Amino acid sequence: MTPRGCAVLATSKRFSDEPAFVLHRYDWSESSLILEVFTRNHGRIALVAKGAKRPSSSFRPILLPMQPLHLAFGGDAEIRSLKSAEWQGGHVMPTGDALLSGYYLNELLLTLLARDDPHPHLFDIYARVVQIIASEHGEVLQAALRTWELLLLREIGFLPQLDQQTMTLGGLADETRYILVPEGGLRQAHAEERGALSGAQWIRLQAAVQNDAPFTETLRACAEMMSELKPQLRQLLHYHCGVKTLRSRQMMMDIQAL
């Protein structure tokens, strides 16, 4: 019971030492920024970084995309206040095609992931893909991107079961070819449709994404099916994002056309 006449003091929540990545940043005032941040335990959240644009701000060299951070923040509003940020090291800012690939990861999260919806396993997968993007192992970049797409779709509930036909729930024949379409899920491919995978390949992918170590197993599987998976996953993602072409993808095409 609160004594009569006494005010109830509201205390805002504060969190510290939270693993996070900056997905996007934009101006809030002459000196401050609004950040879209992907955190491990709180999902995607918005933060205001007051004074972050000032030359003397400790935030200025740290709040960059694809850099592993530990953040402290507080507040109960939709946009909370950033209190501190510490860079965790590990890799430098990627450049060129790798940087565009990182923007692609971030755009998918910003488009498909609701705010304040925690996905700690997805956060860990994102961190591993970013490590590959920032490394010099370009030969596994495309496999890592396909892995990210599959596991992102699975985590948010947009990936159909890959070891059965979606409409009939019938099993897959190992040698028959099947294709993944946005409106109908997995179905048997028509003779003229290219890029289909065999039933055995789809069954392998299903086993990989539900493995105890899904990133490692899915990366291995995707490395053997990259060219076939890419257009099918792209169509499925565009369908759920509600766009024909993602901005990061259009940027890649524009640069390649120069």
Block residue for tokens 């990989």: 208
Q: How far is CA 24 from CA 68, 110, 119, 131, 178, in A?
A: 14, 8, 18, 18, 37
- Give 52's pLDDT tier (boundaries 50, 70, 90): very high
Q: Which fold has domain 96-257?
A: de novo design (two linked rop proteins) (1.20.1440)
2 has a pLDDT exceeding 50: no
pLDDT of res. 76: 82
Per DSSP bridges, beta strands 33-39 and 14-27 are antiparallel
pLDDT of res. 9: 37
10 has a pLDDT exceeding 50: no
Average of per-residue pLDDT values in the chain: 88
- Give 187's pLDDT tier (boundaries 50, 70, 90): very high
**Residue 218 φ then ψ, to 5°:** -70, -35
pLDDT of res. 255: 59
Would you list the domain boundaries of the chain? Answer: 14-87, 96-257
Angle at 154 between CA 135 and CA 156, to 5 degrees: 100
pLDDT of res. 13: 81
Q: What is the mean pLDDT of residues 157-183?
A: 95
96 has a pLDDT exceeding 80: no
Q: The domain 14-87: what is its CATH number?
A: 2.40.50.140
The tokens for 171 are 């099993």
- One fold for both 14-87 and 96-257? no
Half-sphere exposure (CA, 13 Å, Cβ side) for 200? 3
- Give 230's pLDDT tier (boundaries 50, 70, 90): very high
Cβ-contact 48, 38 below 8 angstroms: no
CA–CA separation, 60 and 58 (whole Å): 6
Q: What is the mean pLDDT of residues 160-171?
A: 96
SS3 of the chain: helix, strand, coil, percent, to 5: 40, 20, 40
